[in-house]
Amino acid sequence: MPEQLSIFELIANASLLVQLVMAMLLAASVASWMMIFQRWMFLRKVTTEMERFEEHFWSGIDLRKLYGQLEGADDLTGIEKIFVAGFKEFSRLSEQAGADTDAVMQGVQRSMRVAVSREEEQLERNLPFLATVGSTSPYVGLFGTVWGIMNSFRSLANMTQATLASVAPGISEALIATAMGLFAAIPAVIGYNRFSARVDVLMGRYETFADELTSLLQRAAHARQVKRD
Amino acid sequence: MPEPLSYFGNLGQWREQWLPLLLAIFVHAVAMSALYDGWNPDFEVENVVTPKFVNSKLIVMEPKSKPKPAPKPAKEPEPLKPIVQQVAPPPMPKPVPRTTPTPVKTQPKPDPDAIRKKAEQEAKRKAEALRQQRLQELSNQSFEDAIATEDENFDDVTEEGEAAKSFFQAIYDQVVANWSRPPSARNGMKALLRVELVPTGDLVNVTIVESSDNPAFDRSAEQAVRKAGKFEVPKESALFESKFRRFNLLFQPEDLFR
């Protein structure tokens, strides 16, 4: 059956180094697709949770009650964690007798900043891997191709009659490495760009939320201080 | 703050790690199967079509036409072109005069264009007359018949026929390889050339039997045969005599798009 002369046979006939390169690229491609799906699901989840929480938050609910709902839960997502971190610090510091508003607010801001940067870490997880695959796998593939073509031309030197048929299979199998490199790189680059843009958007919203929460808490602290005085 | 170190702990191993892996593997499986399906058809088609680079046809006249060019073998040992020119003057409009206007002959002389043009016109007129005559001459073995019988010739399944076929294929390939068509070549042009060989395979004579009315095209066809020069011919003299001493080649550019 002529169908047996397939791309897989070409790969099987390739030299060891080219096969290694191909295996590496295949692994990189599978891993980067895995990261893409994982990031995609994660970011989608984070975004929907954030929208739900913000809606809840601005619905006029008592912050103390909201904190009570969230405190014990262990499946908090990004924005909830920021809220919990800020509010916990606020209630702790304001319970202390004689704490002045500035000191309380500084503490709250610090703890929220920590929470935000921790969230950023979570959001950007695995993105450097995608960037690496996207930028290096074409070169790796090209290396495999160059090596394969080098070998097929070198074997041409031993032949008395140089025909196209004697080099074409070698070149064809070598080019598979470049194709695989591109196959791995293109989704990785697209995924990286897309996800880092979404991470930027999310980070912007986290910071906005942290600022809004700070101003709310400051107002509350100020009112309390006025009442105490 | 008892914050979990990562989201993976919270959201479940399966959803966070195995599902993406399965999806990634699925994507690759789809890509590979698409590649596998899409890879073969082209490959096969490319393999099957071997000798059809140029659709010019090789037509072999049956040796019936042998008596007709009887005077020609006499010219064999002599150099080609002078003979052609000597033969030209006689009023008998044989195929030979047709070749007179080829530039190879006119160039050596310091001919002005006018003479050449005149010669060409003359040749054209002669060729026209010649064609009419030739068509009648060939009667049962006419041009169209030749085309019609071509397949039969090639379907000859006797051992001798097989051998002849492979030799003709080789000649055909050799001529086609040497053929550079002029830019004025168009689909539908046909030039029929008579090729004469000696048993060593050397070319003795090539003449235009049927002009395409385009001198450049005729010349290119003639040049293709001359360039090829020497052909592989069968060793058995019976086969050579019957099919290779004299045969006709039809030049026909069918693969052009204009």
User: What tens digit of pLDDT does each residue of A141-185 get?
Assistant: 999 999 988 888 888 777 766 677 777 878 888 888 999 999 999
Cβ–Cβ contact B43 with A under 8 A:
yes
Which residues does chain B have within 8 Å of residue A41's beta carbon, measured at their own beta carbons? 15-16, 19-20
* pLDDT above 90 coverage of chain B, percent: 1
Name the nearest CA neighbour of B236 among B248, B244, B227, B226: B244
Q: Could you give the residue ranges of the DSSP H alpha helices within chain B? A: 7-11, 13, 19-48, 80-87, 103-106, 113-138, 143-154, 159-178, 215-228, 237-239
- Is the CATH number of domain B63-251 3.50.50.60? no
Examine the predicted complex and report whether its ipTM is higher than 0.95.
Answer: no
Note the pLDDT of residue B136: 66
Residue B108 DSSP code: T
Answer yes or no: do B40 and A41 touch at CB < 8 A.
no
The closest CB to that of B16, out of A5, A33, A38, belongs to A38
**Considering the domain boundaries, does residue A10 fall inside one?**
no
Cβ–Cβ contact B41 with A under 8 A:
no
pLDDT, average across residues A39-54: 90
Q: Which residue of B has its CA nearest to A165?
A: B47
For residue A82, the enclosing domain spans 21-228
**Cβ–Cβ under 8 Å, residues A224 and A108:** no
Residue with tokens 């160039």: B107
Q: Which residue of A has its CA nearest to B48?
A: A2
Split at pLDDT 50, 70, 90, the class of B92 is: very low
pTM attached to this predicted model: 0.53
What mean pLDDT value characterizes chain A?
86
Q: If DSSP codes are grouped into helix, strand and coil, which group holds residue B191?
A: strand
The closest CB to that of A81, out of B3, B15, B44, belongs to B3
**Considering the domain boundaries, does residue A177 fall inside one?**
yes
- Residues in A whose CB is inside 8 Å of some CB of B read 2-3, 5-8, 26, 29-31, 33-38, 41-42, 45, 74-75, 77, 81, 85, 88, 118, 122, 183
B42-55 burial, b at 16+ Cβ within 10 Å, e below that, comes to eeeeeeeeeeeebe
Cβ–Cβ contact B27 with A under 8 A:
yes
Note the pLDDT of residue B14: 65
Which of these ranges, A19-23, A219-223, B11-15, B97-101, has the smallest mean pLDDT? Answer: B97-101
Tally the domains of chain A: 1
**Cβ–Cβ under 8 Å, residues A43 and A199:** yes
Tell me which of B123 and B51 has the higher pLDDT: B123
Note the pLDDT of residue B240: 83
Kindly list the distances between the CA atom of residue B242 and the CA atoms of B61, B209, B245, in Å, as whole numbers in the listed order.
10, 19, 7
Note the pLDDT of residue B258: 41
Answer yes or no: do B19 and A41 touch at CB < 8 A.
yes
**Cβ–Cβ under 8 Å, residues B251 and B210:** no
Which residues does chain A have within 8 Å of residue B44's beta carbon, measured at their own beta carbons? 2-3
Note the pLDDT of residue A204: 93
Radius of gyration of chain B (CA): 30
Contacts of residue B241, defined as CB under 8 A and 6 or more positions apart, other chains included, come to none
The closest CB to that of A34, out of B1, B20, B47, belongs to B20
**Considering the domain boundaries, does residue A167 fall inside one?**
yes
Answer yes or no: do B23 and A81 touch at CB < 8 A.
no
Answer yes or no: do A122 and B25 touch at CB < 8 A.
no
Which residues does chain B have within 8 Å of residue A31's beta carbon, measured at their own beta carbons? 24
Tell me which of A119 and B3 has the higher pLDDT: A119
Split at pLDDT 50, 70, 90, the class of B139 is: low
Most confident of A90-94, B94-98, B103-107, B152-156: A90-94
Provide the number of CB pairs (under 8 Å) joining chain A to chain B: 59
pLDDT, average across residues B189-193: 84
Note the pLDDT of residue B46: 44
Note the pLDDT of residue B52: 40
Answer yes or no: do B36 and A118 touch at CB < 8 A.
no
Instruction: State the Cα–Cα distance between residues A203 and B222, nearest whole angstrom.
Output: 79
**Cβ–Cβ under 8 Å, residues A144 and A18:** yes
Quick: pLDDT tens for A47-64.
998 998 888 888 888 888
Note the pLDDT of residue A200: 93
Kindly list the distances between the CA atom of residue A43 and the CA atoms of A30, A191, A195, A196, B41, in Å, as whole numbers in the listed order.
20, 12, 8, 10, 42
Retrieve residue B89's tokens: 């003057």
Answer yes or no: do A6 and B3 touch at CB < 8 A.
no
Residue A192 has pLDDT above 90, yes or no: yes
Kindly list the distances between the CA atom of residue A60 and the CA atoms of A63, A76, A108, A162, B76, in Å, as whole numbers in the listed order.
9, 21, 21, 82, 113
Tell me which of B84 and A201 has the higher pLDDT: A201
Residue B78 has pLDDT above 60, yes or no: no
Length of chain A: 229
Split at pLDDT 50, 70, 90, the class of A87 is: confident
Q: What residue ranges do the domains of chain B occupy?
A: 7-48, 63-251
